[in-house]
Amino acid sequence: MTTAEPMTGPGAPAHSQATATLLPTVHDPEAPQVRPLSQAMLHSHDARVAVPTYDRGALTPAVVHLSVGGFSRAHQLIYFDELAERRISTEWGVVGVGLRQRHLQEALAPQDHLYTVVERSPDGERARVVGVMVDYLYAPDDPTAVLDRLSDPRTRLVTLTITPGGYPLDPQTRAFRADDPDVVRDLAQPSAPATVFGYLVEALDRRRRAGLAPFTVVSCDNLHRNGEVTRASVVGLARLRDEVLARWIADRVAFPSSMVDRITPQTPPEERAALAARYGVDDRWPVVTEPFSQWFVEDVFSSGRPPLDEVGVRFVADVGDYELMKTRLLNASHSALGHLGALAGYTRMDELMGDPVFAAYVARLMDDEVTPLLPQPDGVDLAVYKDTLLQRFANPAIADRLSRLCRRGSAKLPQHLLPSLRQSRVEGRSAPLLTLAVAGWCRYLRGTDDAGRPLPLEDPRAAELQALALQGRGDPRPLLAVRPVFGDLGDDPAFVADLSRALDRLDRLGARAAVAATLAR
């Protein structure tokens, strides 16, 4: 399957008839009249883009999504929008909640919470206006409104995209960090929480006291067994408040694990102008994404299950195999290619994949060093999935920037790349390509590419890690001592030696030649 084709089969959203045809990238020479996006103006846009044909006023606000961003608007909300558009159900309207930045509220409110999603493949694109979001709340401005919404009897499902760093657990042991400053604040100010988990615990306590059923909590973050991580975070905070509450949550609240997959780059400002020029839609914050989309969810719910399986979501008994497939193939490849490609001077994924050296590298990485460690997910052909990944990475219409893939490396490596490397060492397997990927991250932390140009370093531990990278230069041991990232890998002399050789190869040859030399071994 190519990325130009609409996804079909298990895991693919079933698009409505209005969005089923790819729109060409070049339209008639007469530029459309640009009109604002709003409920009142929807009729003026339906000739060029797909717009909601259902009654938005009939939507029941049953879903609260915490930490709305580009990915959630291109992924989870699309599935709920399909439920309404296909007349399957209007019982799953979505209320969005922002936690850190006000700008999305400022963009969405004047548009009646409508927004445009543009799906791009090499052969064209299609645009649709999503109408399933019925409200958007900015939590720091009005925590009471957020808690009221979470406590509302109509709320049956809460979904999260808060990034792996947002969970108050030790990254190695997964023990709850009771001394986390935000946790301490949430205990002191339960009615004005600082964290997602403060909101969840307070709302669940209110529901318990009111005799209401709990909602289901679904994490959509790239974490191993993300449902278990979410449960540990919520129950851990609740236990510090009230053991009875903690037991009630542990017994009554479902935390299904889920696996989500859709490449969604950040939307640059010029995309707003392009949308207006091409379709006549003045959207303050559109989203650009790829046609591919998957969502696997563990089939455990507290208070009713949305019929998402009718629009392409797979409900399964155990998400683990699907999650390993995605994080160790897609996310690990992103990390490897992001750092090595940036060192070689590339800025976009599609351009990097046009280089036969890097295309061969990621194919061999997946085939030789990762796939042998993976279980076979039921109903998925791993060879087809990997082939699809290569096509998705090379999609020039998405033009995913490597700088996005390099963000928060200290959180991504332990989750996506290092588990395969650690398993390889346990099983006595050679893993030079995975080791080179780790060396690429260590080299990237110095802050310049092979030509001496500056590289952006966006990481919560940036200052500490860069200092250690510069201190060690060709010696990775100072970085390996950062146990929240590497755990005990630095205690393995053979791995330290392998990583030192890979780092030396990068320093002597540069990233592209080092990749080629490693492939030739």
| Residues 46 and 122 occupy one common structural domain | yes
pLDDT at 174: 82
**In this structure, is residue 5 part of a structural domain?**
no
Cα 220 from Cα 227, distance rounded (Å): 9
Task: Choose one of 298, 315, 332: the last residue of a domain.
Answer: 315
Residue count of the chain? 521
| Residues 376 and 462 occupy one common structural domain | yes
Average pLDDT over residues 439-453: 98
Query: Which residues contact residue 370 at a Cβ distance below 8 angstroms, ignoring those fewer than 6 apart?
Result: 328, 329, 332, 420, 434
| Alpha-carbon separation of residue 337 from 187, 360, 390, 405, 409 (angstroms) | 41, 11, 12, 8, 12
Q: Is the per-residue pLDDT at 16 higher than 90?
A: no
Q: From 338, 261, 325, select the one nearest 293 (Cα to Cα).
A: 261
| Residues 355 and 491 occupy one common structural domain | yes
**In this structure, is residue 464 part of a structural domain?**
yes
Q: Is the per-residue pLDDT at 316 higher than 50?
A: yes
pLDDT at 7: 31
Q: Is the per-residue pLDDT at 21 higher than 70?
A: no
Q: What is the CATH number of the domain that holds 451?
A: 1.10.1040.10
pLDDT at 29: 53
Whether the predicted model's global pTM rises above the 0.85 cut:
yes
Q: From 231, 245, 141, select the one nearest 203 (Cα to Cα).
A: 245
Three-state SS for 356? helix
| Residues 108 and 257 occupy one common structural domain | yes
Cα 521 from Cα 513, distance rounded (Å): 13
Q: What is the CATH number of the domain that holds 139?
A: 3.40.50.720
- Domain hosting residue 444, numbered range: 321-519
pLDDT at 165: 85
**In this structure, is residue 415 part of a structural domain?**
yes
Q: Per residue in 166-210, pLDDT tens? A: 999 987 788 899 999 999 999 999 999 999 999 999 999 999 999
Average pLDDT over residues 253-267: 96
| Alpha-carbon separation of residue 192 from 82, 165, 179, 197, 249 (angstroms) | 34, 21, 18, 12, 20
Question: pLDDT grade, residue 30 (50/70/90)?
Answer: low
| Alpha-carbon separation of residue 489 from 35, 175, 428, 519 (angstroms) | 57, 20, 14, 24
pLDDT at 15: 37
Cα 138 from Cα 67, distance rounded (Å): 9
**In this structure, is residue 1 part of a structural domain?**
no
What are phi and psi for residue 170, nearest 5 degrees?
A: -65, 130
Cα 474 from Cα 197, distance rounded (Å): 41
| Residues 115 and 225 occupy one common structural domain | yes
| Residues 430 and 472 occupy one common structural domain | yes
| Residues 310 and 327 occupy one common structural domain | no
Question: pLDDT grade, residue 474 (50/70/90)?
Answer: confident
| Residues 327 and 311 occupy one common structural domain | no
pLDDT at 191: 96
Task: Choose one of 284, 315, 346: the last residue of a domain.
Answer: 315
To the nearest whole number, what is the mean pLDDT of the chain? 93
* Helices 181-188 and 196-210, axial angle in degrees (round to 10): 30
Q: Is the per-residue pLDDT at 1 higher than 80?
A: no
Average pLDDT over residues 315-335: 97
| Residues 311 and 326 occupy one common structural domain | no
Task: Choose one of 258, 283, 315: the last residue of a domain.
Answer: 315
pLDDT over 90, % of the chain:
88
Q: Per residue in 78-122, pLDDT tens? A: 999 999 999 999 999 999 999 988 899 999 999 999 999 999 999
Cα 153 from Cα 398, distance rounded (Å): 40
| Residues 37 and 142 occupy one common structural domain | yes
Cα 216 from Cα 207, distance rounded (Å): 13
pLDDT at 521: 84
What are phi and psi for residue 465, nearest 5 degrees?
A: -70, -40
Cα 433 from Cα 518, distance rounded (Å): 7
Identify the DSSP state of 431: -
Burial class (CB in 10 A: 0-12, 13-18, 19+), 165: middle
Average pLDDT over residues 266-284: 94
Of 169-183, 255-269, 275-289, the one with minimum mean pLDDT is: 169-183
pLDDT at 8: 30
Burial class (CB in 10 A: 0-12, 13-18, 19+), 408: middle
**In this structure, is residue 10 part of a structural domain?**
no
What are phi and psi for residue 105, nearest 5 degrees?
A: -60, -40
Q: Is the per-residue pLDDT at 129 higher than 50?
A: yes
How many domains, the chain? 2
| Residues 238 and 362 occupy one common structural domain | no
| Residues 82 and 115 occupy one common structural domain | yes
CA angle 228, 154, 82 (to 5 degrees): 75
**In this structure, is residue 11 part of a structural domain?**
no
**In this structure, is residue 262 part of a structural domain?**
yes
Q: Per residue in 341-357, pLDDT tens? A: 999 999 999 999 999 99
**In this structure, is residue 515 part of a structural domain?**
yes
